[in-house]
A and B are shown apart, each in its own frame.
Chain A
Amino acid sequence: MVEAGQIALTVVMGVFLLAVAAFLTRFEDWRSYAPIASGGGYVGEQTGQAHQEKPSGISRWLTTVDHKDIGILYGLYGLTAFAWGGIAVLLMRTELATPTEAIIGANFYNALLTTHGITMLFLFGTPIIAAFGNYFIPLLIGADDMAFPRINAIAFWLLPPAAILIWIGFPLAATDIGIAPAETSWTMYTPLSVEQANPGVDLMLLGLHLSGVSATMGAINFIATIFTERGDEVGWERLDIFSWTMLTQSGLILFSFPLLGSALVMLLLDRNFGTMFFAVEGGGPMLWQHLFWFFGHPEVYILVLPPMGLVSLILPRFAGRKLFGFKFVVYSTLAIGVLSFGVWAHHMFSTGMDPRIRASFMAVSLAIAVPSAVKTFNWITTMWNGRLRLTAPMLFCIGFVQNFIIGGVTGVFLASVPVDLVLHDTYYVVGHFHFIVMGAIAVAGFAGIYYWFPLFTGRMYQKTLAKVHFWTTMIGSNLTFFAMLFLGYGGMPRRYATYLPQFTDWHLVATVGAFIMAFGQLVFVWNLVTSWLEGPRVGSGDPWDLEDDGLKTKEWTWFERKRETAIATDGGEPNEQDVRTDGGEPSGEETGSRSGRRSEEE
């Protein structure tokens, strides 16, 4: 039986490798490595036909190293993961509608809890940020592409196998080969994660490891791109706020994700190869907590800094003013980046650590409130007396600020040791970080998607549906996460499939809120798909009229040029000034954009 299995695996691998070789021969002449005529031609052919450089159909997406294509792939991937993470949590909230274990069972609940956390943080949060970064950083800084386009593609293609490995426990549980989904929670605390014999845990750890490798490669790429690929006119003093946050975030990834990778390998070794890194005789379970949270807390800022950058970029464009205190928003970003490595033990206040060490971690954790508040006040001040245009991206930016304030202030209380000792491991913590990750980070992501929707599709989304999406998301998230805060005050512990009857009412409220949010996301997907396919085409390269306030940024200039070039190649009219469609002044686009940038950043 075992031998038959090995033979079958060998045959499958052989066939797979042959298929890969067959695929490769379509793209590469193995003798000279010159692209074949019908496949991917060289871009240097100078024909003026943009599509000549890429193969067509599905092969284009499998082989692309273009930063915009990879950005789209990251985006699709992130939204797919968001859907699975959302379905998982809806099943959990359904179970939590009743106090008893009535619907899905505690073990399945634990598996969903684990996959929800890991999916949302590693397979949705990090990739959706990389989607914006890949598509827009080169456009914003005037670069041709990312510094390392092939490494960029490798970083993306590590993610689908990572997702398969993390999720595969669910389908495999239906077979009888003894693999079930991991039930370790996203923190994978030892000794629980060492002692669960289920190979599904190993698969999940491998998937996480791959996603960490991917994030690290992406971060190196962003750092190299922002340092070396900026256009001649983009000095450090003119670098936009989103690029600043991506640069800081990439630095955080560079210092924290390799540590997660190492800790995961140690855990895999403990599980499979008899090492004792996290056994009591070795480093003990506390070693895992220190390693994990030394990664885990910077991870929070890895997830929140670029969305803050998005809001800092988008919000002023609909307030009709430049960002208030641009320099201080940049400084606060850098300050958060540095401080984020000095707070990890605030996740461990109740582990019995030395009170003097605990107090110092409390001080640093509270200090993070300062740069966070600097940003919040700058966003509010930007809007103050501004000419607000409540478009969907603006609404989501304001929603971000609101939820970030609630999530941030509840975090200040948790940073305080005496309060934390009471609220630790309750739903208060769950409510706090969901205000940040869903209420703020995901909402900023929506703002970015709506803001740039005309740019990457050439069409406009349906405004009413976008507002339905906004209000359902805001009402649903506040309903759910406020209910969680109240449950926490009442002492409801986190991570349980069952609870005492006195918690039923708030749990019901949270479940209702979750389903309202889910409805909003269905509207979002519907809007995205139908608008992409048949939405009205935008009439100019500046659909938000940013030029009027002198707030146009480089990516819109690129979009405008793309539209003009497309017209020029279609109509055969080489003089682009004659085909200007928006009534803009000849040669005004560059200077207009420059003055816009200057007014924003000085």
Chain B
Amino acid sequence: MDEQPGLSDEYRKASPWPVFVAFGLAIFEVGIVMALFPVAVGGLLLFVGSVVGILRESGYVADPWKGLVTASVICLAVGGAVALTTTNAVRLRGIAVLVGGLLVLLAGVFGSFWEPAAA
């Protein structure tokens, strides 16, 4: 048999991450625009986590926990900037990003210590 038609043997044909990258972005957008605090935070966690996951899977990031910490820095910077420079409803959105960033940071730090050295 010469080959598996149309199939590559270079990489996997399944990945669990794309669906959650997409849903995470959608949920995060809805949370931010409709000012739904828990939805925005949850969407951000899903989006950031899945992006780090897909980057790890495709080899762009070596350590997922360090990836989370890096992503949290971006979230904290953006969320902090919005929260500090605005008031009321817009500020609430900034705080949502800030809280999401903190949770991502916690996950990254916790994972780094909890997980034994990567196999």
Contacts and interface: CB of A to CB of B under 8 A. Distances in A.
Nearest to A29: B119
B16 to A, nearest CB: 4
A136 to B, nearest CB: 11
A209 B33 CA distance: 12
A149 B11 contact: yes
Interface in A10-55: 10, 12-14, 16-17, 20, 23-24, 27-28, 30-35, 40, 42-44, 46, 48, 50, 53-55
By DSSP majority rule, is chain A's interface helix, strand, loop, or mixed? Answer: helix
Nearest to A162: B26
Contact of A153 (B2, B7, B15): B15
Given A13-B41, A158-B26, A561-B5, A202 B34 contact: yes
A33 B64 CA distance: 10
Contact of B14 (A20, A64, A558): A64
A101 B21 CA distance: 45
A165 B14 contact: no
Interface stretch (A125-133, A244-252, A461-469, A562-570): A562-570
Given A13-B41, A157-B22, A43 B8 contact: yes
Contacts of A139: 6
A157 B21 contact: yes
Contacts of B116: 31
A210 B25 contact: yes
Contact of B15 (A20, A63, A202, A268): A63
A476 B44 CA distance: 48
Most buried by B among A62, A157, A165, A574: A157
B30 A40 contact: no
Interface string A569-581: 1000010100000
A43 B6 contact: no
Most buried by A among B25, B30, B53, B118: B30
A40 B22 CA distance: 21
A43 B45 contact: no
Given A68-B6, A150-B54, A161-B23, A32 B14 contact: no
B7 A43 contact: yes
Given A43-B9, A202-B33, A574 B14 contact: no
Interface residues of B, number: 48
Contact of A565 (B4, B10, B33): B4
A9 interface: yes
A154 B22 contact: yes
B46 A9 contact: no
A6 B38 contact: yes
Given A31-B118, A558-B6, A565-B1, A157 B23 contact: yes
A574 B15 CA distance: 31
Given A6-B37, A154-B21, A165 B26 contact: yes
A55 B14 contact: yes
Interface in B11-48: 11-23, 25-27, 29-30, 33-34, 36-39, 41-42, 45-46
B13 A66 contact: yes
B113 to A, nearest CB: 14
B115 A31 contact: yes
Nearest to A210: B26
A117 interface: no
B26 A33 contact: no
A157 B7 contact: no
A414 interface: no
A65 B22 contact: no
A13 B42 contact: yes
A60 interface: yes
B18 A157 contact: yes
A206 interface: yes
B2 A20 contact: no
Given A31-B115, A33-B56, A562 B6 contact: yes
Contacts of A156: 18, 22
Given A6-B37, A13-B39, A17-B45, A150 B15 contact: yes
21 contacts: A13-B42, A24-B20, A28-B16, A31-B116, A33-B56, A42-B12, A44-B9, A54-B13, A55-B14, A149-B15, A150-B18, A153-B15, A157-B23, A158-B22, A202-B34, A206-B26, A209-B29, A210-B26, A565-B4, A565-B5, A569-B1
Given A10-B38, A54-B14, A202-B33, 16 more contacts: A23-B16, A27-B16, A30-B115, A44-B10, A63-B15, A65-B14, A150-B57, A151-B18, A153-B15, A154-B18, A154-B21, A158-B26, A161-B23, A199-B34, A202-B34, A268-B33
